[in-house]
């Protein structure tokens, strides 16, 4: 039986700490893609070859190189049921691709869930480090240390001209994707978001939804990440992203100040209405729940509401997702049932803060 304690609680331990700019930047993440030399990439590997990759990479846990980051737990994807896999995706501990399409796929997760290492996803190895708030530099530094720990025991596929070789050409070079998850309700409300995001795309960055490429931005949550991995160093990528994120933070703060100065009554009414609906609704679909939770989070940030805490809001963002709802209430549900239980769970959570 696999260790599934990671799917039983909605909030990872790393999300509980205070962090700089956490009222706007939810989290920072760095992901590094690597492949082993002389073995076919996952999409072309036989079952035996992907099993060899899994064995070689999990064997590294016996060494002390990763010990500084605590104990790692190995979860084989084939041993997880569909709901547990979905919860791991909702907590950003694995990708949808690993959950749905991997052969001999696995993930190594640290005790506090700040590090997850995916094996046999799109690439042989994907190292992911997560931090609260605007700490993309710190996430990068940790990812580099973990990368070195693996490289001490295996040879990576590397080309002197192209850099690290990856399954997808857009990852060739550094193999690194750095991203931040940002809550930008005021820029959306003041109709500045499209201009800001257009400017972001002009400096080598891209905007995605909360689950990465192809996903929708809901609840005013946007994932900003680097688009270029070739022709820039890791440090240049990190500094470019960090500089742009600081500018977006300032734009969001200015927009929030404008809302408070020009539309105090309107924004207060919006926040209180959303809090009331979340507190008493009998049915909530995922999009409405995400938007109402965004309003309440903004209300807490602006001092309109004293509760719930930001940690509680972060919990609700995961708890209201389809996988975690089904995990919490112990059964597979259709859409209507999920909408009912989502409302019930939110009522319970907010009721405990009153």
Binding-site positions for ATP read 27-31, 92, 126, 177-181, 208-213
Angle, CA 346 vertex, CA 327 and CA 332 arms, to 5° = 25
Token code pair at residue 264: 């105090």
Does residue 220 have a cis peptide bond before it, meaning omega lies within 30 degrees of 0? no
Q: Residue 172 in contact with residue 166, Cβ under 8 Å? A: yes
The answer to whether residues 127 and 147 touch, using CB atoms and an 8 Å cutoff, is yes
Bridge partners, residue 164, by sequence? 158, 173
Identify the CA nearest to 89 among candidates 132, 51, 69, 118. 118
Q: Helices 310-319 and 286-301, interaxial angle, to 10°?
A: 170
In this structure, the chain runs to a length of: 354
CA distance 176 to 140: 9
Q: For the residues of 14-33, what is the DSSP string, one character each? A: GGGS--TTTTTEEEEEEEEE
Q: Which two tokens stand for residue 313?
A: 């809001």
Two tokens, residue 248: 């977006």
Residue 72's DSSP bridge partners are 110
| Lookup result for tokens 């809302």 | 259
Task: Please calculate the CA angle 347-314-340 and round it to the nearest 5 degrees.
Answer: 30
**307 near 301, Cβ under 8 Å?**
no
**Nearest 10 degrees: Cα torsion 115, 121, 122, 123:** 70
Residue set of the binding site: 27-31, 92, 126, 177-181, 208-213
For 16, 35, 174, 192, 290, the CA distances from 65, given in Å and listed in that order, are 26, 19, 22, 46, 40
């Amino acid at each position: 039986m696999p260790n599934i304690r990671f799917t039983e609680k909605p909030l990872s331990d790393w999300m509980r700490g205070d962090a700089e700019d956490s009222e706007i930047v939810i989290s920072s993440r760095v992901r590094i893609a690597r492949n082993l030399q002389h073995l076919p990439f996952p999409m072309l590997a036989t079952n035996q070859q992907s099993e060899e990759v899994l064995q070689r990479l999990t064997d590294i846990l016996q060494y002390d190189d990763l010990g500084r980051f605590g104990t790692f737990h190995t979860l084989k994807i084939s041993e997880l049921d569909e709901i547990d896999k979905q919860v791991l995706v909702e907590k950003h501990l694995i990708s949808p691709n690993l959950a749905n399409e991997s052969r001999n796929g696995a993930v190594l997760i640290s005790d506090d869930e700040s590090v997850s290492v995916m094996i046999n996803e799109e690439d042989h190895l994907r190292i992911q480090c997560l931090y609260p708030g605007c700490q993309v530099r710190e996430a990068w530094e940790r990812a580099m240390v973990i990368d070195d720990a693996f490289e001490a025991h295996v040879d990576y596929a590397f080309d002197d001209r192209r850099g690290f070789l990856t399954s997808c050409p857009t990852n060739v070079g550094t193999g690194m994707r750095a991203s931040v998850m940002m809550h930008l309700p005021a820029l959306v409300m003041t109709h500045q978001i499209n201009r800001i995001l257009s400017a972001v795309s002009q400096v080598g960055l891209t905007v995605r939804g909360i689950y990465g490429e192809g996903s929708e931005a809901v609840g005013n949550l946007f994932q900003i990440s680097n688009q270029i991995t070739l022709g820039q160093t890791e440090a240049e990528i990190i500094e470019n992203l960090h500089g742009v994120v600081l500018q977006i933070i300032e734009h969001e703060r200015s927009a929030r100040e404008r809302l408070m100065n020009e539309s105090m009554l309107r924004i207060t009414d919006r926040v209180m209405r959303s809090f009331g609906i979340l507190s008493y609704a009998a049915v909530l679909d995922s999009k409405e729940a995400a938007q109402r939770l965004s309003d309440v989070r903004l209300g807490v940030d602006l001092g309109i509401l004293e509760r719930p805490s930001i940690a509680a809001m972060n919990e609700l963002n995961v708890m209201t997702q389809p996988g975690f709802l089904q995990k919490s209430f112990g059964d597979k549900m259709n859409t209507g049932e999920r909408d009912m239980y989502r409302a019930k769970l939110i009522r319970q959570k907010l009721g405990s803060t009153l």
